[in-house]
Chains A and B, each alone.
Chain A
Amino acid sequence: MNLANEINDLQMAQTRRHFLRDASRVGIGTAALATLLNSSSAQAKSTPSLAANNGRGYGPGLPGRPHFSPTAKRVIYLCQSGAPSQIDTFDYKPSLDRLEGIDLPASVRMGQRVTGMTSGQKSFPVAKSFAKFGQRGASGQWISDLLPHHHKIADDICIVRSMYTEAINHDPAITFFQTGNQQPGRPSLGAWASYGLGCEASDLPAYVVLLDKNTDHQAQPVYSRLWGAGFLPSNHQGVKLRASGDPVLYLQDPTGTDLLHKRQFLDHLAELNAARADVVGDPEINTRIKAYEMAYRMQMSVPDLTDLSDEPQSTFDLYGPDAKVPGTHAANCLLARRLAERGVRFVQIYHRGWDHHSNLPQRHPGIAKEVDQGSSALVLDLKRRGLLEDTLVVWGGEFGRTVYRQGGNATTYGRDHHPRCFSIWLAGGGIKPGHSYGETDDWCYNIVDRETRGVHVHDLNATILHLLGFHHEQLTYRFQGRDFRLTDVHGRVVKPILASA
Chain B
Amino acid sequence: MKPTLLALLFVAVQQSAVLGIEPVRFNRDVRPILSDRCFLCHGTDIQESGLRLDHRDSAAVKGFEAGDADGSELIKRVTSLDADLAMPPARSHKPRLTPQEVDILRQWIDQGAEYEEHWAFLAPESHPLPPTNGSKWTASEIDHFVLAKLVQNGLTTADDADKRTLIRRVTLDLTGLPPTPSEVEAFVADRSAIAYEKVVDRLLASPRFGEHRARFWLDVARYADTNGYQYDLEREQWVWRDWVIHAFNSNMPYDRFTTLQIAGDLLPDATAEARLATGFQRNHPITIEGGVIDEEYRTEYVMDRVATTSTAWLGLTFQCARCHDHKFDPLTQRDFYSMFAFFNNVPEKGLNGFDPKEKIASPLADQRIGQLNQALAQVDRDLESKIFGVPEQEFESWEQQLAELQGSWQQVRATSLSTENETTLRQLDDDSISASGKNPDQETYKIAFRTGDAAIRGLRIEVLTDSLLAGGSVGRAPNGNFVLSEVVLSEVAADQLKPIKIASAEADYQQQGFPAEAVFDGETATGGWAVDGNQRALPSTLIITLDNPIAKQTDVVVTLLHNFGTSHAMGRFRLSTIGPHRPLPLEVLQLRELSRNGNNVEAQREYRRAVASRFGNRTIKGLFAQRDNLLSQLASVNRDIPATLVMKELAKPRQTFVLERGEYDKPIKDQPVSPDVPSVLGVWPDDAPRNRLGLAIWITDQRNPLMARVTVNRFWAQLFGRGLVSTPEDFGSQGAYPSHPDLLAWLAVEFVDSGWDVKQLFKTIVMSRTYRQSSVVSPDMIASDPDNRLLTRGPRFRLDAEAIRDSALAASGLLDDRIGGPSLFPYHPHGLWQEINNRPGFSRVYPHSIAADQLYRRSMYTFWKRTVVPPSLATFDAPEREYCVVSRSRTNTPLQAFVLLHDPQFVEAARKLAKRMLVEGGDSLDSQIAYGFQLSVARSPNVREADTLRAAFNQSHGDFQNDTTSAHKLLSVGESPRDESLDIATHAAMTNVARLILNLSEFVTKD
Contact = CB atoms under 8 A, between A and B. Distances in A.
B9 A171 contact: no
Interface in B809-856: 829-831, 835-840, 842-843
A95 to B, nearest CB: 28
Contacts of A500: none
B894 A27 contact: no
Contacts of A57: 893
Interface stretch (B258-266, B751-759, B944-952): B944-952
Contact of B779 (A21, A58, A416): A21
Contacts of B292: 115-116, 169, 172
Instruction: Count chain B CB atoms within 10 A of each CB in A250, A257, A289 and give the residue with the most.
Output: A250
Nearest to B944: A275
Nearest to B1000: A272
B996 A269 contact: yes
B1001 interface: yes
A325 interface: no
B783 A25 contact: yes
Chain B: interface secondary structure? loop
B443 interface: no
A213 to B, nearest CB: 8
Contacts of A123: none
Nearest to A234: B889
Interface string A260-289: 010011001101110111011111110111
Contact of B786 (A26, A257, A473): A26
Contacts of B829: 245-246, 249-250
Given A273-B1000, A473-B93, A30 B787 contact: yes
A254 B907 contact: yes
A261 B782 contact: no
Nearest to A268: B952
A255 B837 contact: no
A218 interface: yes
Nearest to B869: A224
Contacts of B1005: 282, 284
Contact of B838 (A214, A223, A228): A214
Interface in A23-65: 25-30, 33, 36-37, 39-43, 46-47, 49-51, 53-54, 57-59
Nearest to A253: B902
B99 to A, nearest CB: 16
Interface residues of B, number: 117
B975 to A, nearest CB: 13
Contacts of B780: 21
8 closest A-B pairs by beta carbon, nearest first, are A481-B734, A115-B291, A221-B837, A223-B867, A295-B894, A295-B897, A184-B882, A250-B898
A37 B897 contact: no
Given A249-B875, A269-B996, 11 more contacts: A7-B1, A36-B3, A42-B93, A214-B838, A224-B880, A248-B895, A250-B899, A251-B898, A265-B995, A284-B798, A479-B729
A272 B996 contact: yes
A482 interface: yes
Interface string A223-243: 111001100011100010010
A185 B836 contact: no
A283 B95 contact: no
Instruction: Count chain A CB atoms within 10 A of each CB in B888, B890, B892 and give the residue with the most.
Output: B892
Interface residues of A, number: 111
Contacts of A222: 836-837, 867
A368 interface: no
Nearest to B228: A184
Contacts of A27: 1, 6, 9
Interface of B: 1, 3-4, 6-7, 9-10, 13, 93-95, 228-232, 285, 287, 289-294, 300, 317, 320, 327-328, 351, 665, 722, 726-727, 729-730, 732-736, 775-780, 782-783, 786-787, 796-798, 829-831, 835-840, 842-843, 866-869, 871-872, 874-875, 877, 880, 882-883, 887-899, 901-904, 907, 942, 944-945, 948-949, 951-952, 955, 959, 966, 969-970, 973, 992, 995-996, 999-1002, 1005, 1007
A211 B777 contact: no
Nearest to B993: A268
A19 B783 CA distance: 8
B782 A19 contact: yes
Interface string A283-319: 1110111011011001100000000000000000000
A221 B843 contact: yes
Contacts of A18: 779
A116 B783 contact: no
Contacts of B875: 249-250
Contact of A221 (B722, B839, B888, B999): B839
Contacts of A289: 1001
A412 interface: no
A325 to B, nearest CB: 15
A140 to B, nearest CB: 37
Contacts of A49: 786-787
A223 B229 CA distance: 8
A276 B891 contact: no
Given A20-B783, A244-B831, A294 B894 contact: yes
A491 B1000 CA distance: 47
Nearest to A23: B783
Contacts of A229: 889
Contacts of A42: 93-95
A386 interface: no
Contact of B895 (A239, A252, A253): A239
Instruction: Count chain A CB atoms within 10 A of each CB in B300, B798, B902 and give the residue with the most.
Output: B902
A298 to B, nearest CB: 6
A250 B872 contact: yes
Nearest to A471: B93
B891 A53 contact: yes
Contacts of B887: 47
Contacts of A36: 3, 6-7
B898 A268 contact: no
A161 interface: no
A213 B835 CA distance: 7
A58 B894 contact: yes
25 contacts: A30-B787, A46-B730, A47-B887, A50-B891, A117-B290, A211-B835, A219-B838, A219-B839, A225-B867, A249-B871, A250-B901, A251-B902, A256-B969, A257-B966, A265-B992, A268-B948, A272-B996, A277-B1001, A279-B776, A285-B1001, A289-B1001, A291-B892, A299-B898, A481-B320, A482-B327
Interface string A100-123: 000000000000010111000000
A31 to B, nearest CB: 9
Contacts of A217: 839-840
B120 to A, nearest CB: 12
Contacts of B783: 20-22, 25-26
Contacts of A298: 894
A208 interface: no
Contacts of B996: 265, 268-269, 272
A244 B832 CA distance: 10
Contacts of A116: 290-294, 351
A18 B944 CA distance: 20
A85 to B, nearest CB: 16
A352 B338 CA distance: 42
A261 B229 contact: no
B491 to A, nearest CB: 20
A198 B904 CA distance: 31
Contacts of B797: 50
A452 interface: no
Nearest to A115: B291
Nearest to B730: A481
A221 B959 contact: no
Given A171-B289, A291-B896, A185 B882 contact: yes
A363 to B, nearest CB: 15
A220 interface: yes
Given A18-B779, A26-B786, A280-B776, A225 B882 contact: yes
B6 A33 contact: yes
